[in-house]
């Protein structure tokens, strides 16, 4: 029978082609129906046309999204004047969609002013999902993989030693010392540079201003062109905002190119200056042209330095407010490391309580409460709900970190929640990438710098606790100042605690001097 069917097809190929086309159309329509069937996600009641657009609070929208989630469920939608935004408040749902269905959830929403004009489409965190992103991402991954991250440990150890020395000399300037240390080690990882001397280093200032410009420009409503993309067709001479964006794109390209060329020149001139870094890998591989290489490194440095530093700031806040946790952490360090040397990378596995303090710091006050939004490129159905193509997808890290199904008493700072009863073994909630949080995001867009960030943070936290008691500082009247943990400054994607004073008191001056004498040396001069 099969034979006669085949003969019939061979005899009339035109009819066979029509038949195949028909079958394919039916299959396509069926799969499309499968993907689009399902009920709409729940949505808070809005107003006609604008939907929920005017209901989104300008400050801390993640808190309001958590409240909506409590009424509507772990995943719901918002109508932002016709644009669908999906909000996920639950680790499991986020992982189901953003990790497991990463092939369709890994785009970014279009950002005309920031991504396309100010960055010329070259800023990796805002890039659309496609070939250019794949090239940049590959380079980032090669320079930041868990194995390669181990080759930067010496840089982190050296920076931790410089940090505590600076804190001992100028404890009042603790915040700029923290930011200097993190900026410096991120610069070394990216460009192979020696430690920078102060947080006022011109390179750091330029990159900080670049990030600030992006933050301001990406605030909702900052540029009408985001709502009315047709405006992008205006010539630059008629659109001041376009000239502004193009001007900064050129300036920032020059800035990132100079950094890249400088690293290239130095490593060629003097091999003794060579340090493992992402730039050295890029020179070796030659897979990216100079502009792409310069922007890849610039993207990595700007995405990594300030986020990592923000976590250190939360840590200082947590230690001031929870001295009993600090004492317990110091007892572990004294047991494992002793008084006469500083902690080093080899101690990481022997410090379960310090690792729990780090996780709890990240969970307790999320520095990236809404992460960077993803964008769905295909209709999807999840647990009976239809999620339309072209939805912007937010994961609400702030809400997930406070989910009472996962964490009891979430407002409390309690590192023990990440340990078993012996306090030797880790207990990590499911769907959190073995981290106990999902601060580094999801799927194919997950932060490529997570391993480097974890190493930097763990070594700095352990070294600071080894060296100092962190305490409340006194104000001008001699009164102890208790910082408010709920006062925060929203800097766009990153949220940091509002400024507060802190006091760093050396625990053991003799041991400190002995350890400093053995620490990896640098000729860094402190501010």
In this chain, which stretch among 154-162, 385-393, 447-455, 467-475 interacts with ligand HEM, using CB under 6 A? 447-455
Please select the residue that binds ligand HEM; options are 140, 196, 392, 458, rule is CB under 6 A: 140
**Residue 387 interacts with ligand HEM (CB under 6 A): yes or no:** no
The pair phi, psi for residue 446, each rounded to 5°, is -55, 145
Pairing, β 75-80 against β 392-395:
unpaired
Residue 370, φ and ψ in degrees, nearest 5? -120, 10
Stretch that binds ligand HEM, among 8-16, 378-386, 437-445, 466-474 (CB under 6 A): 437-445
Beta strands in 89-176 (DSSP E): none
Check whether 447 is labelled as a binding-site residue: yes
Window contacting ligand HEM (CB under 6 A); options: 57-65, 136-144, 337-345, 504-512: 136-144
Closest separation in Å from C-beta 224 to ligand HEM: 26
Residue 20's φ and ψ, nearest 5 degrees, are -60, -45
**Rounded Cα distance, 337 and 351, in Å:** 9
- The burial class, CB within 10 Å (0-12 / 13-18 / 19+), for 197 is middle
Rounded-to-integer distance, Cα 277 and Cα 457, Å: 19
Reduced to 3 states (helix: H, G, I; strand: E, B; else coil), residue 85 is strand
Is 391 a residue that touches ligand HEM (CB under 6 A)? no
Q: Going residue by residue from 167 to 196, which x/- string records binding to ligand HEM, judged by CB under 6 A?
A: -------------------x--x-------
Q: Does residue number 304 form part of the binding site for ligand HEM (CB under 6 A)?
A: yes
Residue 124 or 162: which CB sits closer to ligand HEM? Answer: 124
- Alpha carbons 222 and 233: distance in angstroms, whole number: 18
Closest-CA residue to 84 (of 397, 385, 366): 385
445 contributes a contact to ligand HEM by CB under 6 A: yes
Closest CB to ligand HEM among 117 and 495? 495
* 306 part of the interface to ligand HEM, by CB under 6 A: no
69 binds ligand HEM (CB under 6 A): no
Please state, in angstroms and rounded to a whole number, the distance separating the CA atoms of residues 73 and 39.
Answer: 14
Q: How far apart are CA 338 and CA 321, in angstroms?
A: 25
Q: Which of 149, 452, 458, 495 binds ligand HEM (CB under 6 A)?
A: 452
Distance of alpha carbon 243 from alpha carbon 235, whole angstroms? 9
Shortest CB 480 distance to ligand HEM, Å: 30
d(CA 462, CA 452): 16
Q: Does 441 bind ligand HEM (CB under 6 A)?
A: yes
161 versus 439: smaller Cβ distance to ligand HEM: 439
Binding region for heme: 447
Question: Which residue ranges make up the site for ligand HEM (CB under 6 A)?
Answer: 124-125, 137, 140, 144, 186, 189, 299-300, 303-304, 307-308, 311, 367-368, 371-372, 374, 439-442, 445-449, 452-453
């Amino acid at each position: 029978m099969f034979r006669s069917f085949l003969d019939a097809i061979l005899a009339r190929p035109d009819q066979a082609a029509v038949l195949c086309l028909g079958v394919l159309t039916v299959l396509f329509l069926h799969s499309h129906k499968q993907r689009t069937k399902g009920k709409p996600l729940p949505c808070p009641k809005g107003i006609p046309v604008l939907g929920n657009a005017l209901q989104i609070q300008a400050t801390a929208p993640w808190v309001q999204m958590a409240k909506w989630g409590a009424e509507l469920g772990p995943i719901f939608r918002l109508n932002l004047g016709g644009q669908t935004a999906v909000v996920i408040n639950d680790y499991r749902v986020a992982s189901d969609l953003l990790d497991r269905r990463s092939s369709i959830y890994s785009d970014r929403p279009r950002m005309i002013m920031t991504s396309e004009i100010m960055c010329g489409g070259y800023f990796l965190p805002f890039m659309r999902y496609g070939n250019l992103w794949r090239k940049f991402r590959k380079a980032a991954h090669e320079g930041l993989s868990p194995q390669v991250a181990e080759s930067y440990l010496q840089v982190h150890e050296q920076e931790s030693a410089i940090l505590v020395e600076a804190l001992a000399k100028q404890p009042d300037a603790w915040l700029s010392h923290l930011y200097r240390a993190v900026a410096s080690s991120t610069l070394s990882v990216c460009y192979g540079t020696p430690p920078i001397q102060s947080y006022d280093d011109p390179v750091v200032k330029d990159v900080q201003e670049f990030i600030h410009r992006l933050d301001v420009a990406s605030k909702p409503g900052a540029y009408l062109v985001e709502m009315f993309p047709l405006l992008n067709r205006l010539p630059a001479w008629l659109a001041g905002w376009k000239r502004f964006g193009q001007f900064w794109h050129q300036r920032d390209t020059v800035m990132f190119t100079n950094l890249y060329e400088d690293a290239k020149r130095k490593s060629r001139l003097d091999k003794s200056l060579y340090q493992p870094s992402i730039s050295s890998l890029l020179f070796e591989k030659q897979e990216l042209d100079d502009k792409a290489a310069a922007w890849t490194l610039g993207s990595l440095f700007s995405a990594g330095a300030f986020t990592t530093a923000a976590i250190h700031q939360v840590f200082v806040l947590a230690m001031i407010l929870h001295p009993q946790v600090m004492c317990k952490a110091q007892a572990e360090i004294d047991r494992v490391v002793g008084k006469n040397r500083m902690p080093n990378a080899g101690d990481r596995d022997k410090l379960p309580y310090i690792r729990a303090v780090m996780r709890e710091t990240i969970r307790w006050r999320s520095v990236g409460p809404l992460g960077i939004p993803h964008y769905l490129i295909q209709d999807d159905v999840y647990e009976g709900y239809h999620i339309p193509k072209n939805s912007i997808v937010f994961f609400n890290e702030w809400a997930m970190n406070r989910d009472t199904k996962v964490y009891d008493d979430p407002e409390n700072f309690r590192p023990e929640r990440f340990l078993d009863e012996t306090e030797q073994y880790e207990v990590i909630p499911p769907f959190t990438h073995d981290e106990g949080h999902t601060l580094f995001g999801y799927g194919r867009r997950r932060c490529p710098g997570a391993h480097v960030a974890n190493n930097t943070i763990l070594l700095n936290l352990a070294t600071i606790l080894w060296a100092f008691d962190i305490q409340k500082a006194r104000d001008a009247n001699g009164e102890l100042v208790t910082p408010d943990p709920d006062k925060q400054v929203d800097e766009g994607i990153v949220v940091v605690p509002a400024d507060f004073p802190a006091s760093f008191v050396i625990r053991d001056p003799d041991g400190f001097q002995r350890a400093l004498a053995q620490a990896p040396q640098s000729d860094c001069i402190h501010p």
